[in-house]
Structure 1
Amino acid sequence: MNWFYWSLLAALFAGITAVLAKAGTSGIDPNLATAIRTTVVLVLAWGIVFATGMPAWGSLSGSAILFLTLSGLATGASWLCYFQALSVGQASSVAPVDKLSVVFAIALAAIFLGEKLAWQHWVGGVLIVAGAALIAWR
């Protein structure tokens, strides 16, 4: 499978995640909900690493470790905010606004990674912002 199909599966699972997370945050502290979800992801990720064969740790560079650590911190902050939003809002509103992350990713990839943006990036980004604003505005 190429990147597109993996991306579609990621989107499908993210959609399922929003609905299940909203159901799971009912009546509990959103930080506890985040911790439970994170524990499950941690066990699953390490299980996959061990099941598929341990990669060579020596191939990890200092910069890779730094960026993955920073990515993990950003993921944690995102999940904490996401679960807080789900605890007080509707999943059908929270999830689309959360997907503004796509627009931020496009902009940050251009700024920090030097990725070239085509007109499709601009139009798609505007449509995502418009869609999130339309859903959030009620």
Structure 2
Amino acid sequence: MWWIYALLSALFAALTAIFAKIGIKGVDTDLATGIRTVIILILAWAIVLFKGSGSGIADLTKTNWTFLILSGCATGLSWICYFRALQLGKVSQVAPVDKLSVAIAIALSVLFLGEPLTLKTASGAALIIAGTLVLIF
């Protein structure tokens, strides 16, 4: 079931690039990121309230809070850089380079989470890196 959500994530990420490229034309990218963030905030909290999962907030530990805050900061910085890159470059170049994050995430998961690096995973990461380099140069 996880792969269905992963494919939907990829679809929505692709739509994000297309919609953003059109939406940021002639707009300051930081302003565009701020607007996008407000929409995401409203959507995310609407889902939390609809599902009734807001009561779990009391169960969050200090570690949960720390790493969710760090994740939020990383996401925000990623979006700011992504929107600026989209304004300066082509979607067909920016989006694939952005997906280099997959190979970086694999490396970081091995280093910090102790996840195993299999031949299959390493090969996939290497192909992502190779594809990114082809698109850059």
Shift of 1:136: 1.8
| TM-score for both structures, normalised by structure 1 | 0.96
RMSD: 0.8
Larger helix percent: 2
Q: Which runs of 5+ in 2 are unaligned?
A: none
In structure 1, C-alpha distance between the alignment counterparts of 2:87 and 2:36, rounded to whole Å: 14
Percentage of matched positions with identical amino acids: 50
1:19-62 per-residue CA deviation (whole Å, 9 max, x = no partner) reads 11111111111111111111100000001001110332221010
* Alignment correspondent of 1:47: 46
Runs of 4+ in 1 over 3 A off after TM superposition: none
In structure 2, C-alpha distance between the alignment counterparts of 1:15 and 1:91, rounded to whole Å: 9
One-letter amino acid matched to 2:90 = Q
Q: Which runs of 5+ in 1 are unaligned?
A: none
In structure 1, C-alpha distance between the alignment counterparts of 2:84 and 2:111, rounded to whole Å: 29
* Alignment correspondent of 1:25: 24
In structure 2, C-alpha distance between the alignment counterparts of 1:12 and 1:48, rounded to whole Å: 19
Q: How many residues align?
A: 136
Tell whether 2:13 aligns with 1:14: yes
Does the residue aligned with 2:68 lie in a helix, a strand or coil? helix
| TM-score for both structures, normalised by structure 2 | 0.96
Shift of 1:11: 0.5
In structure 1, C-alpha distance between the alignment counterparts of 2:128 and 2:45, rounded to whole Å: 34
